[in-house]
Amino acid sequence: KDVQKEREPHVYLSKEEVKEKIQSYNSSVTDKLKMTLNANGIYTGFIKVQMELCRPITVQSSQSQGRCAPSNTETAFYLPDGCVNTLHISSTNTVREVIEALLKKFFVADNPAKFALYKRCHKEDQVYTCKLSDREHPLYLRLVAGPKTEMLSFVLREHETGEVMWEAFSIPELQNFLRILDKEENDQLQILKNRYAAYRGKLEEALRGVLKPG
């Protein structure tokens, strides 16, 4: 079940409460992704984000990330559904910063404004997927929920605006989308041609059997 926005109030914890929760959190961790409390009260830790993207993403060539002159090489492709990425963040990082860091980590050239972060949690034997506001702090939500992803997980999706905001895409992105659509159209057309060719062959074979002199 999807709900529109995260409406739960942010409960501000004292430094001692944060310390106790981190100790409890770390004692339950099974994958070594523990949290660390710094002297200034800011804590760091890890979150896992599942990618559920319906549209292709544009990725910059890794060669253009070095010190050499950028090659402006970009490739658009569909990301495998269910791909999970791990980020190391702090308690001060907001949802918007997490999205930007996630895209930067994998050289995604798309505008971060196209994406939204959701939380998925279990309540009363139902699974709820809820869009987080840009000012939410994912690591705080992770700390409060505990380390079990069955209780809370994060999902990256495209913004659900009712229709695609094509004006937010660059010309190279739109051209890549057209190439992908052309390829998909040609693939589907070839599948249909092969299917009807097989039907035609069976019909012709049946006709030859019927018309064959007895």
149 and 187 assigned to the same domain: no
Q: What is the DSSP letter of 80?
A: P
Give CA separation, 49 vs 12, 52, 89, 155, 157, in Å: 24, 9, 12, 5, 10
Question: pTM for this one?
Answer: 0.66
Q: What average pLDDT does the segment 78-86 reach?
A: 82
Please check the confidence at residue 205 and state whether its pLDDT lies above 80: yes
Q: What is the pLDDT of residue 68?
A: 45
Tell me which amino acid residue 77 is: F
66 and 112 assigned to the same domain: yes
Q: What is the pLDDT of residue 125?
A: 76
Confidence of residue 96 (pLDDT cuts 50, 70, 90): very high
Q: What is the pLDDT of residue 79?
A: 77
Q: What average pLDDT does the segment 62-83 reach?
A: 62
Answer whether residue 7 is part of any domain.
no
Sign of CA dihedral 152, 154, 155, 160: positive
Q: What is the pLDDT of residue 62?
A: 56
Contact yes or no for 136/31 (Cβ under 8 A): no
Q: Tens of pLDDT along 135-182? A: 899 999 999 999 998 889 999 998 765 555 666 667 777 787 788 788
Answer whether residue 214 is part of any domain.
no
68 and 112 assigned to the same domain: yes
Contact yes or no for 119/4 (Cβ under 8 A): no
Please check the confidence at residue 71 and state whether its pLDDT lies above 80: no
Expressed as residue numbers, the domain containing 128 is: 13-162
Answer whether residue 180 is part of any domain.
yes
72 and 119 assigned to the same domain: yes
Q: What average pLDDT does the segment 33-50 reach?
A: 94
Q: How far is Cα 100 from Cα 94, in angstroms, rounded to an integer?
A: 10
User: What is the dihedral angle through the alpha carbons of 14, 91, 142, 57, rounded to the nearest 10 degrees?
Assistant: 160
How many domains is the chain built from? 2
Q: What is the pLDDT of residue 66?
A: 47
- Mean pLDDT estimate for the chain: 82
Q: How far is Cα 50 from Cα 105, in angstroms, rounded to an integer?
A: 14
Q: What average pLDDT does the segment 7-11 reach?
A: 55
71 and 112 assigned to the same domain: yes
Q: How far is Cα 42 from Cα 62, in angstroms, rounded to an integer?
A: 33
